[in-house]
Amino acid sequence: MRSIFPVVAAAFLILASSAGAEPLEIPASPASVADVPARGMSMSAVTARYGEPTQRHAPVGGGHPKRPPITRWDYDGYSVFFENQTVIDVVVQGQMPPLQHMDELSPAP
């Protein structure tokens, strides 16, 4: 019967080498967000306030109430996502997404 020692030793070395990972640092205060469309705005309100997007993507999904069409408009530095005709999210390029539960985070040791 072959010894399983080499397999166990290799697994231990792999786990031990990954144990020295650096902790993730979260900024103390979120960076200020540029003037971007707010959740709940309509497509026409976004166009009236921010102008025409640099690119409009075709809707994805739809055809079922549980899968409404999602449309993306790209502006310089951010993208706006719509469900049907309403803004549901804005993604700013190069910015960390907002934390939802900051009180559950613990500081790195």
For residue 62, being part of any structural domain is answered with yes
The pLDDT, as a whole number, for residue 62 is 85
The tens-digit pLDDT sequence of the chain (109 residues) is 456 766 666 666 666 655 555 666 655 444 445 689 999 999 999 999 999 999 999 999 988 888 999 999 999 999 999 999 999 999 998 876 666 676 666 676 6
For residue 50, being part of any structural domain is answered with yes
Q: How many domains does the chain have?
A: 1
Question: Count of CB atoms within 10 A of residue 43's CB?
Answer: 17
Structural domain boundaries enclosing 42:
37-97
Report the number of secondary-structure helices (H) and strands (E) in the chain.
2, 4
For residue 58, being part of any structural domain is answered with yes
For residue 2, being part of any structural domain is answered with no
The pLDDT, as a whole number, for residue 29 is 40
- Read off φ and ψ for residue 82, nearest 5 degrees: -115, 140
| pTM of the full structure | 0.60
